[in-house]
Amino acid sequence: MIKDKSEAKFGVYLPLDLASQLESFMRETGIKSKSRLVQEALRVFLLEHAWKSGRAVAGIIGVFYNHEVRGVDEALTDLQHDYLDIILSTLHVHLTRDHCMLAITVRGQTERIRELVNKLISINGVIVVRPLLLAIGEENRDHADNEVHAH
Protein backbone atom coordinates (compact mmCIF):
# COMPACT_ATOMS: atom_id res chain seq x y z
CA MET A 1 0.00 0.00 0.00
CA ILE A 2 1.45 3.37 -1.02
CA LYS A 3 0.89 6.23 1.47
CA ASP A 4 2.25 8.90 -0.81
CA LYS A 5 4.65 8.97 -3.74
CA SER A 6 7.72 8.69 -1.46
CA GLU A 7 6.76 5.71 0.72
CA ALA A 8 5.50 2.17 0.37
CA LYS A 9 4.15 0.01 3.18
CA PHE A 10 4.26 -3.78 3.22
CA GLY A 11 4.36 -6.61 5.73
CA VAL A 12 7.29 -8.94 6.33
CA TYR A 13 7.11 -12.35 7.95
CA LEU A 14 10.14 -13.50 9.95
CA PRO A 15 10.98 -16.84 11.53
CA LEU A 16 10.55 -16.58 15.31
CA ASP A 17 14.27 -17.01 16.01
CA LEU A 18 15.15 -14.15 13.64
CA ALA A 19 12.43 -11.93 15.11
CA SER A 20 13.78 -12.67 18.59
CA GLN A 21 17.34 -11.81 17.53
CA LEU A 22 16.06 -8.58 16.00
CA GLU A 23 14.24 -7.60 19.22
CA SER A 24 17.34 -8.36 21.32
CA PHE A 25 19.58 -6.39 18.99
CA MET A 26 17.23 -3.41 19.07
CA ARG A 27 17.17 -3.43 22.89
CA GLU A 28 20.98 -3.76 23.12
CA THR A 29 21.65 -0.96 20.64
CA GLY A 30 18.80 1.37 21.59
CA ILE A 31 17.26 1.30 18.12
CA LYS A 32 13.59 2.20 18.47
CA SER A 33 12.21 1.89 14.93
CA LYS A 34 11.96 -1.41 13.07
CA SER A 35 11.12 0.51 9.93
CA ARG A 36 14.38 2.49 10.10
CA LEU A 37 16.35 -0.66 10.84
CA VAL A 38 14.80 -2.50 7.87
CA GLN A 39 15.36 0.52 5.61
CA GLU A 40 19.05 0.64 6.52
CA ALA A 41 19.43 -3.12 6.13
CA LEU A 42 17.81 -3.02 2.68
CA ARG A 43 20.04 -0.13 1.57
CA VAL A 44 23.14 -2.05 2.66
CA PHE A 45 21.89 -5.23 0.99
CA LEU A 46 21.13 -3.43 -2.28
CA LEU A 47 24.50 -1.64 -2.31
CA GLU A 48 26.39 -4.84 -1.53
CA HIS A 49 24.62 -6.85 -4.22
CA ALA A 50 24.20 -4.23 -6.96
CA TRP A 51 27.69 -5.04 -8.26
CA LYS A 52 26.34 -8.37 -9.51
CA SER A 53 24.17 -6.58 -12.07
CA GLY A 54 27.02 -5.61 -14.39
CA ARG A 55 27.67 -2.05 -13.27
CA ALA A 56 30.90 -0.26 -12.50
CA VAL A 57 31.92 -1.05 -8.92
CA ALA A 58 34.53 -0.16 -6.34
CA GLY A 59 35.56 -1.93 -3.18
CA ILE A 60 37.89 -4.37 -1.52
CA ILE A 61 38.56 -8.03 -2.15
CA GLY A 62 39.73 -9.75 1.02
CA VAL A 63 42.00 -12.75 0.51
CA PHE A 64 42.97 -15.04 3.41
CA TYR A 65 45.69 -17.53 2.53
CA ASN A 66 48.39 -19.86 3.82
CA HIS A 67 51.69 -18.37 2.70
CA GLU A 68 53.50 -21.64 3.53
CA VAL A 69 51.92 -23.26 0.46
CA ARG A 70 54.60 -23.36 -2.22
CA GLY A 71 54.11 -20.73 -4.90
CA VAL A 72 51.04 -19.00 -3.43
CA ASP A 73 52.72 -15.61 -2.90
CA GLU A 74 54.16 -15.60 -6.42
CA ALA A 75 50.83 -16.68 -7.93
CA LEU A 76 48.98 -13.91 -6.09
CA THR A 77 51.51 -11.27 -7.17
CA ASP A 78 51.50 -12.44 -10.80
CA LEU A 79 47.70 -12.41 -10.89
CA GLN A 80 47.58 -8.88 -9.47
CA HIS A 81 49.93 -7.72 -12.23
CA ASP A 82 47.48 -9.14 -14.78
CA TYR A 83 44.74 -6.90 -13.36
CA LEU A 84 46.49 -3.54 -12.99
CA ASP A 85 43.63 -1.93 -14.91
CA ILE A 86 41.25 -2.53 -11.97
CA ILE A 87 43.55 -2.88 -8.94
CA LEU A 88 44.22 0.44 -7.21
CA SER A 89 46.28 -0.86 -4.28
CA THR A 90 46.97 -3.90 -2.14
CA LEU A 91 47.58 -4.15 1.59
CA HIS A 92 49.41 -7.25 2.84
CA VAL A 93 48.89 -8.23 6.48
CA HIS A 94 50.78 -10.96 8.37
CA LEU A 95 48.19 -12.60 10.64
CA THR A 96 50.15 -15.57 11.97
CA ARG A 97 53.38 -17.34 11.10
CA ASP A 98 51.53 -19.29 8.38
CA HIS A 99 48.61 -17.08 7.38
CA CYS A 100 48.39 -13.75 5.60
CA MET A 101 45.62 -11.54 4.34
CA LEU A 102 45.44 -9.27 1.32
CA ALA A 103 43.06 -6.35 1.04
CA ILE A 104 42.94 -5.61 -2.69
CA THR A 105 41.29 -2.28 -3.54
CA VAL A 106 39.56 -2.41 -6.92
CA ARG A 107 37.51 -0.23 -9.23
CA GLY A 108 36.11 -1.22 -12.61
CA GLN A 109 33.49 -3.24 -14.46
CA THR A 110 31.76 -6.12 -12.70
CA GLU A 111 32.79 -8.78 -15.21
CA ARG A 112 36.49 -7.93 -14.94
CA ILE A 113 36.35 -7.95 -11.13
CA ARG A 114 34.34 -11.19 -11.09
CA GLU A 115 37.05 -12.72 -13.30
CA LEU A 116 39.73 -11.64 -10.80
CA VAL A 117 37.74 -13.05 -7.85
CA ASN A 118 37.32 -16.41 -9.61
CA LYS A 119 41.03 -16.63 -10.39
CA LEU A 120 41.93 -15.74 -6.79
CA ILE A 121 39.69 -18.55 -5.52
CA SER A 122 41.44 -21.06 -7.79
CA ILE A 123 44.95 -20.41 -6.43
CA ASN A 124 46.31 -23.27 -4.31
CA GLY A 125 46.80 -22.02 -0.74
CA VAL A 126 44.02 -19.44 -0.86
CA ILE A 127 41.53 -20.25 1.90
CA VAL A 128 38.89 -17.50 1.62
CA VAL A 129 38.15 -14.79 -0.95
CA ARG A 130 35.55 -12.25 0.12
CA PRO A 131 34.59 -9.34 -2.11
CA LEU A 132 33.05 -6.23 -0.55
CA LEU A 133 31.98 -4.30 -3.61
CA LEU A 134 29.61 -1.40 -4.03
CA ALA A 135 28.05 -0.18 -7.25
CA ILE A 136 29.38 3.19 -8.32
CA GLY A 137 26.41 5.49 -8.78
CA GLU A 138 25.96 8.05 -11.52
CA GLU A 139 27.13 10.74 -9.10
CA ASN A 140 30.57 9.06 -9.10
CA ARG A 141 30.84 8.68 -12.87
CA ASP A 142 33.73 11.20 -13.06
CA HIS A 143 35.84 8.88 -10.86
CA ALA A 144 35.45 5.84 -13.12
CA ASP A 145 38.35 6.82 -15.38
CA ASN A 146 40.98 6.13 -12.64
CA GLU A 147 42.19 9.73 -12.95
CA VAL A 148 44.24 10.90 -9.95
CA HIS A 149 42.69 13.91 -8.27
CA ALA A 150 42.52 15.65 -4.91
CA HIS A 151 39.47 15.77 -2.65
- C-alpha 27/C-alpha 15 separation (Å) is 19
- Please report whether residue 149 resides in a domain: no
Confidence of residue 105 (pLDDT cuts 50, 70, 90): very high
- pLDDT attached to residue 46: 82
Is residue 65 one of the residues assigned to a domain?
Answer: yes
In a domain, 89, yes or no: yes
Q: Over 50: is that where the pLDDT of 141 sits?
A: no
Asked whether residue 148 is assigned to any structural domain, the reply reads: no
Is residue 123 a part of any domain in this protein?
A: yes
Same domain, 23 and 72: no
pLDDT higher than 70, residue 91? yes
Q: How many domains is the chain built from?
A: 2
Range of the domain at 96: 54-137
pLDDT at 139: 44
φ/ψ (deg, to 5) at 66 = -95, 110
Q: Which positions ≥6 away from 69 have C-beta within 8 Å?
A: 124, 125
Q: State the Cα angle at 24 between 21 and 26, rounded to 5°.
A: 110
- Asked whether residue 121 falls in the same domain as residue 92, the answer is yes
Residue 151, domain member (yes or no): no
